[in-house]
Structure 1
């Protein structure tokens, strides 16, 4: 029936016959390419369309709680010879460890060990071992979760240390470490320790020069 119709159409007008055949070819090609609801092969899509179709990855915001906070005390004048007052504000019971005269390279090595080592440095003992005990004096305080008092730390007078030399220095005047005291709390928080370098003035440099 279709063949008879095409023959009659060709006898009527060859030009109109060619137009109808061309239209049928275009419609068939459009259906194949998906213009009428079928999916278009990826190889035929434009780059802009491909980018719009691909799903955008979602990055989930994660809130991390820092259980540590440390402030300089307001009582007295801080110096290497007279000591310094520190006020920790912790959400959990913690340990404040003060390392006087801590080696610069030793501290950098300890921080790299904490970042790239097999386990985190979460106790003062682990931190001291990572420092290879390269400090002049260490003093520790046990802090409760509600403790907001100032804690005074100083080097023993028998060490006879009044300064840490000229810049660039090989030792920090004071490094304050806060760690969680209870083992259960160490698994609760993503932050295992807080390290603060305190530039205490001495006979060689005042605070504004350090």
Structure 2
């Protein structure tokens, strides 16, 4: 049967016949060499065998406690009427709400924290943003405080929307920082930056937390985390 197949294959394409025979010879030789203890070239080894030979890099997991939590409050939310948020923190903290923060300014501030001095106070964030926002409002939050805080842009500013998509400004950036200097030395996480979408006339998507970034005390260890990870130990 095999002879008939090879003859048919040769009549159909002599070049393909030679290639198949050569491949069979190479595979058979490799199997024989491997059976008698000779090393088999890497190119002939299976992918599973190759992966098992390569050393697996090890990365130490470090448990870090996140002292911050922020969630949307009750009630309707809009740029003109404002929005309510609820902060639940393990330590007294300061909630700073930056309305109309420029996207490029926030990215620059995050890079400052990653490559320079850590941003651990509201004043540090204000300086890093270079006042590239429309309005800032701050609240002091106690460790047992679960009340909602309502923040909005003053009506006399005349801001009703942030323009069509794509936008150059985030509607609301909420920053949580530890209020007491001693606590900043206790926790590795020293700040939480949350971008919040607030609907307006140009973009009516419902209010929601877009993303959250937690800032660590060590340079280069700022981590993007989902908002539902708050208060849970963070492994990095």
TM-score with structure 1 setting the length = 0.70
Counterpart of 1:180 (choices 171, 178, 181) is: 178
1:56, 1:134 → 2: CA distance?
46
Query: Counterpart of 1:166?
Result: 164
* RMSD between superposed Cα atoms in Å: 2.6
Unmatched 5+ residue regions in structure 2?
Answer: 1-54, 211-236
Structure 1 residues 80, 67: closer, same or farther in 2, change over 3 A? same
Counterpart of 2:143 (choices 130, 134, 145) is: 145
Which aligned pairs between 1:99-110 and structure 2 lie closer than 5 A? 99-110=98-109
* Deviation of 1:168 (Å): 1.0
Alpha-carbon displacement from aligned partner over 1:130-169 (angstroms, at most 9, x marks no partner): 0001000000000000011100001100001000001111
* Deviation of 1:93 (Å): 0.2
1:77, 1:56 → 2: CA distance?
51
* Deviation of 1:57 (Å): 7.7
2:91, 2:189 → 1: CA distance?
12
Larger strand share, 1 or 2: 2
* Deviation of 1:115 (Å): 0.8
Query: Counterpart of 1:68?
Result: 68
Question: Secondary structure of the residue that 2:192 maps to in structure 1?
Answer: strand
Based on CA coordinates, which of the two structures has the bigger radius of gyration? 1
* Deviation of 1:61 (Å): 2.6
1:56, 1:196 → 2: CA distance?
35
Query: Counterpart of 1:30?
Result: none
Which aligned pairs between 1:26-175 and structure 2 lie closer than 5 A? 59-74=59-74, 76-117=75-116, 119-175=117-173
Contact 2:73/2:84 (<8 A) preserved = yes
Question: Secondary structure of the residue that 2:64 maps to in structure 1?
Answer: coil
* Deviation of 1:208 (Å): 5.0
1:204, 1:124 → 2: CA distance?
30
Contact 2:91/2:183 (<8 A) preserved = yes
Question: Secondary structure of the residue that 2:183 maps to in structure 1?
Answer: helix
1:135, 1:66 → 2: CA distance?
27
TM-score with structure 2 setting the length = 0.63
2:206, 2:155 → 1: CA distance?
25
